A and B are shown apart, each in its own frame.
Chain A
Amino acid sequence: METPYNQSDLLKEFSPHLERTSVLQMIWIVFLLGVIGLGGFALYTQISKGHIVTGMRDNVVWGIYIVNFIFFMGVSYAGALISGSLHLFRAEWRKPIIRIAEFITIIALLIGPCYILLCIGRLDRLPYLVLFGRIQSPITWDVIAISTDIFGCIIFLYLALLRDIAQIRDFKEISLPKWKKKMYSFLALGYTGTPEQQKRLQNATDIMAAMVISIAIIVYSVLAWIFSVTLQPGWHSTIFGPYFVIAAVFSGCGIMIITMWLFRKIYHLEHYITRRHFVNVGVLMLVLAALFGYFTFSDYLTKWYGSEKNDELLIQLLFKKYYWLFIISNYVGVLLPMIVVGIPKFRTINNITFSAIVVVLALWINRYLIVVPTLESPYLPIQDSRPEWLFYNATWVEWSLTAAGVAVFALLMTLASKFIPVVNVSEMGDKPVPEEEIL
């Protein structure tokens, strides 16, 4: 991108998306609301009848709610990594995709913690987490870390939006309802682009980019420690902190590619988001696939080789009952992106997107295989005559709420793209930073 784009041309191109919503998009939104409604009904059922309507029982006390929690928190890494680190390194190619990454981060970050709430037996006592919080508990660490992360990411995203909001406010050719105009001028905080303002904004964004990256690493490590501080054979592992961080960035890359593909098609961004972006993010995904595969391998290798009694039981469960899931998540999910991105002639946009879909699914299954089989193989053997007490099977309530989470994600992504251009208009208009100024 040698020559910067003209900002008002760009705005003119994107303004139709902000001005009106097509019929197809309306149908899409109604469909998503329907799925969310089903989730709402499932939630009502769970609250009125108790957690007995879920598949969770005394042995497997955490089911797919926790899996979804880890999953969405992982997805939120897209922004921290792509947006934060590429911003710091001033990678020029990031500009058209940086906004998408920030959207994913903030939206996933708002959905993720909701799943922890679904797991809690007494929602009415939620304030106790603050009122009677104990700093010794990893859950308190998590509460602190996640709320800091959400605040940090909101500030970072807002700083990144500020210039575009000011642009829309000042753009005369766009026809918007009065309340929207007022909203933009309020949100622009009086930014007019004076050199002083530019400098401050640049500094603030740099600081927040660095903060967001480090907070994200802390959040995901704390999340991993919730599992690894316990004595459960499958969880009590020193590798879990970095392993979870890598898995999170990996899934963030996957979601990033899928969203890029969708927005590219829907908003006709072929001109801005090119094969180059898919290959670049794809290469990141390849590196992360290798790291993830390495962590997975060393975790299970040590368990299998030492074959302590309870580790052995877990490995047996994984290789018998969960055989195919294990193969998909830890073999296919690792090897496919390496082959597709690693061999140049396979590197098409569609191939990379397909492998990203597989990666995202594989990582969801990977978390399932971390949470559920461990709880199914405790130190004392489960001796029960009730099948639902022996093995975990998620019920319609849990699946509906999972679908609702995905629908909320899609809905908020859609709505966000209706308020703010999906491509960062101001940054696209900036001159490229000369090499020697980096950092």
Chain B
Amino acid sequence: MKKKSENKSTSSRRQFLKKSLMTGASMLATGGLIEAYLDTSAAESGEKVKVLTTDGTIMEVDQAHLLLPRVSRAESKKGLPGKKFVMVIDLSRCKNARACVEACQKGHNLPKSMEFMKVYLLQDGEKEAAYWFPKPCFHCDNPLCVSVCPVGATYKRSDGIVLIDNERCIGCKFCITGCPYSTRVFAWKHYPEFDIDKQPYSPEASSPGVEGTVSKCDFCPDLVRVGKLPYCAQACPMGVIFFGDMDEDVVTNGAETFQLSQLLRDRAGYRYLETLGTRPSVYYLPPVDRQFPVDRGFGDLDESVKDRYKETPYVKKNKP
């Protein structure tokens, strides 16, 4: 069933990336302290870029140290023009490696107890097969969370992304009860991880986290803006997570690129709980012709993570 991937030239993507980074670098001029935009703890890439600081001097910094540019809260309300983002998750490849969860938490400076991406062990019926189910925010086209927000802290952009403004959110949690997919999480206290990020807050980065507010998977628009894939899609060793643009009709996991409409047609893509009428932007490819048995997903998990699944009918019956 596997289609030969129709690879886009990666060099053009790299070029785009470079250009975006340069734009980012020029934006530093308006930003204040240069340190706030650098992460010197990252390994050096050897590739240097020139940046202009607020006092007019030109500095040379390592490209790997350069943090992503962040747009203002007002700018984050507008979507990327001409885009309609979509995610495809191939359940036949997932083996619960949890790389997506960890990369996401690192990228968004989240504590262990807050997961934007969750991996469930699902089994739809007693006789049906169990499968691993990575679940980001579905960025619905009919999002109940957005409808119920009393202060407009969560909003739907023209590019389909649903974001939360943590500087507007009052923490009433109505959106959490409104979301039928248990996607949203609450910052129950000020976690030390919130202090890692020294850059100014932007809804596109969902970082630094704000105590007493709601947050969730954001489709990483700050990465997408510079031509990168979301953290989860970048990190997945199995290439489970595809990200792309519905208008361009293309999705990629970094290594393979597919025509979205054809992929969904050939692999019988579906949306989770379609009956609820929320119209998600995340499609799943059913777990058929699987690359790994389900039990592989219990491989090298922490005990605390393994414990999560102990009450599932599958684990109770099969004791993997």
Across the interface, which residues of A come within 8 angstroms of B190, CB to CB?
50
Choose from B151, B182, B188 the contact partner of A134 (Cβ within 8 Å).
Answer: B151
Flag whether B181 is at the interface (Cβ < 8 A).
Answer: yes
Q: Which of B62-70, B80-88, B227-235, B300-308 contacts A (4 or more CB under 8 A)?
A: B300-308
Across the interface, which residues of B come within 8 angstroms of A120, CB to CB?
170-172, 212
Known contacts A128-B168, A383-B312: A50-B147 contact under CB 8 Å: no
Q: Are A133 and B189 in contact (CB under 8 A)?
A: no
Q: Are A378 and B180 in contact (CB under 8 A)?
A: yes
Flag whether B148 is at the interface (Cβ < 8 A).
Answer: yes
Q: Are A137 and B213 in contact (CB under 8 A)?
A: no
Q: Which of B210, B211, B212: most chain A Cβ within 10 A?
A: B212
Within 8 A of A (CB), among B96-135: 113, 118, 120-122, 135
Q: Cα distance A52–B304 when bound, in Å?
A: 20
Flag whether B18 is at the interface (Cβ < 8 A).
Answer: no
Q: Are A139 and B211 in contact (CB under 8 A)?
A: no
1/0 contact trace for A270-290 toward B, CB 8 Å?
000000000000000000000
Flag whether B178 is at the interface (Cβ < 8 A).
Answer: yes
* CB closest chain-B residue, reference A382: B182
Known contacts A230-B144, A381-B120, A383-B309: A132-B151 contact under CB 8 Å: yes
Flag whether B21 is at the interface (Cβ < 8 A).
Answer: no
Q: Are A137 and B148 in contact (CB under 8 A)?
A: yes
Q: Are B120 and A137 in contact (CB under 8 A)?
A: no
Q: Are A385 and B308 in contact (CB under 8 A)?
A: yes
Across the interface, which residues of B come within 8 angstroms of A140, CB to CB?
150
Flag whether A207 is at the interface (Cβ < 8 A).
Answer: no
Q: Are A61 and B186 in contact (CB under 8 A)?
A: yes
A-B contact number at CB 8 A = 138
Choose from B121, B174, B310 the contact partner of A137 (Cβ within 8 Å).
Answer: B174
* CB closest chain-A residue, reference B178: A230
Flag whether B276 is at the interface (Cβ < 8 A).
Answer: yes
Within 8 A of A (CB), among B287-320: 304-312
Q: Are B189 and A51 in contact (CB under 8 A)?
A: yes
Q: Are B186 and A58 in contact (CB under 8 A)?
A: yes
Q: Are B180 and A129 in contact (CB under 8 A)?
A: no
* CB closest chain-A residue, reference B170: A125
Within 8 A of B (CB), among A115-156: 116, 119-122, 125-126, 128-129, 131-134, 136-140, 143
Flag whether B268 is at the interface (Cβ < 8 A).
Answer: no
Across the interface, which residues of B come within 8 angstroms of A132, CB to CB?
151-153, 168
Give the shortest distance, in Å, between B61 (CB) and chain A (any CB): 36
Q: Are A61 and B120 in contact (CB under 8 A)?
A: no
Q: Are B181 and A379 in contact (CB under 8 A)?
A: yes
Across the interface, which residues of A come within 8 angstroms of B149, CB to CB?
134, 137
Known contacts A121-B211, A132-B168: A57-B188 contact under CB 8 Å: yes
Q: Cα distance A126–B152 when bound, in Å?
A: 13
Across the interface, which residues of A come within 8 angstroms of B306, CB to CB?
385
Q: Are A133 and B148 in contact (CB under 8 A)?
A: no
Choose from B121, B151, B171 the contact partner of A121 (Cβ within 8 Å).
Answer: B171
* Number of residues of chain B lying within 8 A (CB) of chain A: 51
Q: A-side binding surface: helix, strand, loop or mixed? A: loop
Q: Cα distance A383–B305 when bound, in Å?
A: 9
Flag whether A348 is at the interface (Cβ < 8 A).
Answer: no
Flag whether B264 is at the interface (Cβ < 8 A).
Answer: no
Across the interface, which residues of A come within 8 angstroms of B185, CB to CB?
58
Across the interface, which residues of A come within 8 angstroms of B186, CB to CB?
51, 57-58, 61, 121
Q: Cα distance A375–B180 when bound, in Å?
A: 10
Q: Are A128 and B151 in contact (CB under 8 A)?
A: yes
Within 8 A of B (CB), among A359-416: 375, 378-386
Known contacts A119-B173, A120-B171, A122-B213: A385-B273 contact under CB 8 Å: no
Q: Cα distance A379–B177 when bound, in Å?
A: 11
Q: Are A119 and B308 in contact (CB under 8 A)?
A: no
Q: Are B180 and A128 in contact (CB under 8 A)?
A: no
Q: Are A58 and B176 in contact (CB under 8 A)?
A: yes
Flag whether B187 is at the interface (Cβ < 8 A).
Answer: yes
Across the interface, which residues of B come within 8 angstroms of A119, CB to CB?
172-173
Q: Are A121 and B304 in contact (CB under 8 A)?
A: no
Q: Cα distance A386–B113 when bound, in Å?
A: 10
Q: Cα distance A235–B178 when bound, in Å?
A: 11
Q: Are B174 and A226 in contact (CB under 8 A)?
A: yes
Q: Are B211 and A126 in contact (CB under 8 A)?
A: no
Q: Are A232 and B170 in contact (CB under 8 A)?
A: no
Give the shortest distance, in Å, between B247 (CB) and chain A (any CB): 27
Across the interface, which residues of B come within 8 angstroms of A138, CB to CB?
148, 174
Choose from A116, A125, A137, A143 the contact partner of B147 (Cβ within 8 Å).
Answer: A137
- By Cβ-Cβ distance, the 9 closest A-B pairs, closest first, are A121-B171, A121-B212, A50-B189, A385-B307, A139-B150, A52-B189, A52-B188, A137-B150, A61-B173
* New contact pairs (5) apart from A50-B189, A139-B148, CB-CB < 8 Å: A50-B188, A119-B172, A121-B213, A128-B151, A231-B144
Interface residues of A (CB under 8 A from B): 49-52, 56-59, 61-62, 116, 119-122, 125-126, 128-129, 131-134, 136-140, 143, 226-227, 229-232, 235, 375, 378-386
A-B contact pairs, 26 of them (CB 8 A): A51-B186, A61-B186, A116-B172, A121-B172, A121-B173, A122-B169, A126-B170, A128-B170, A132-B153, A132-B168, A137-B148, A138-B174, A227-B177, A229-B178, A230-B177, A230-B180, A375-B177, A379-B182, A380-B181, A380-B182, A381-B120, A382-B182, A383-B308, A383-B311, A385-B310, A386-B113
